[in-house]
Amino acid sequence: PIIEFKGVSKTYNTGTHALNDINIKINPGEFVFVVGASGAGKSTFMKLIVREEEANTGVLKVNGYDLMKIKHKEIPMLRRTMGIVFQDFRLIPTMNVFDNVAFAMRVIGASSRKVRKDVSAVLSMVGLGHKARSMPNQLSGGEQQRVGLARALVNKPSLIIADEPTGNVDPNLSYEIVSKLTEINRQGTTVLMVTHDHSLVRDFQHRVIMLEEGRIVADNAAGGAGA
């Protein structure tokens, strides 16, 4: 599996039991929606995968890394194997759209020729080729979210982690973003997406993991396939 949780629990210092005894395997090439009410543990689930938070107990492996034993200096290497789309965009306000996306490639030392080619391709893919020179504050929320998506995709990661990527955009754009992620998934990329939008979950027949009070209460493969 590309992601494996075995008996994983997470309690914050405040005493909040965010996750209790999570057992799950996500295989390469799957598209998984993670759903649940606010406070169900969805954000913690994602933060553990990208190692923004550390689990208290259990076994947690992502992309071949053992996250219970990972050294601090290896965390950036782990994150380079994934594309992360945040709800709050996290764009760099002083850089234009092109450079916001290129930044993800420059960090790993891609050549300027490759940067030009790949950034242009991914911006066209998310429909923002004409906005390459715009600054983030000149974009709508939906456009900013698509820049975030482009940045997550540009290094062709094996795993996309999307935390409420449609949380701040209108329904049509939500549909479009999930369509893009589905398209990328068809090319073999594993996609894990937290959402509270049940119409999207209904429209796109993917595997759904449901969290409730820090536990997995349902895990159904799309349309019964492989369930």
Give CA–CA dist 146/13, Å, rounded.
Answer: 35
Q: What is the pLDDT of residues 105-116, one digit of tens each?
A: 998 889 999 999
Asked if pLDDT for residue 125 goes beyond 80, the answer is yes
Asked if pLDDT for residue 89 goes beyond 80, the answer is no
Give CA–CA dist 206/225, Å, rounded.
Answer: 10
Q: How much is the pLDDT for 19?
A: 96
Asked if pLDDT for residue 227 goes beyond 80, the answer is no
With cut-offs at 50, 70 and 90, classify the pLDDT of residue 176.
Answer: confident
Q: What is the pLDDT of residues 58-77, one digit of tens each?
A: 999 999 999 999 999 999 99
Q: Name the burial class of residue 4, with classes exposed (0-12), middle (13-18) and buried (19+) by CB atoms within 10 angstroms of its CB.
A: middle
Q: What is the pLDDT of residues 134-165, one digit of tens each?
A: 999 999 888 898 899 999 999 889 999 998 87
Q: What is the pLDDT of residues 182-196, one digit of tens each?
A: 988 998 999 999 988
Q: How much is the pLDDT for 2?
A: 95
Residue 212: phi and psi, rounded to 5, are -145, 125
Asked if pLDDT for residue 222 goes beyond 60, the answer is no
Question: What separation in angstroms does the CA of 117 have from each of 98, 102, 149, 202?
Answer: 11, 10, 17, 36
Q: Hey, what amino acid is at 46?
A: M
Q: What is the pTM of this model?
A: 0.87
What DSSP designation does 134 have?
-
What would the two tokens of residue 166 be?
């449609």
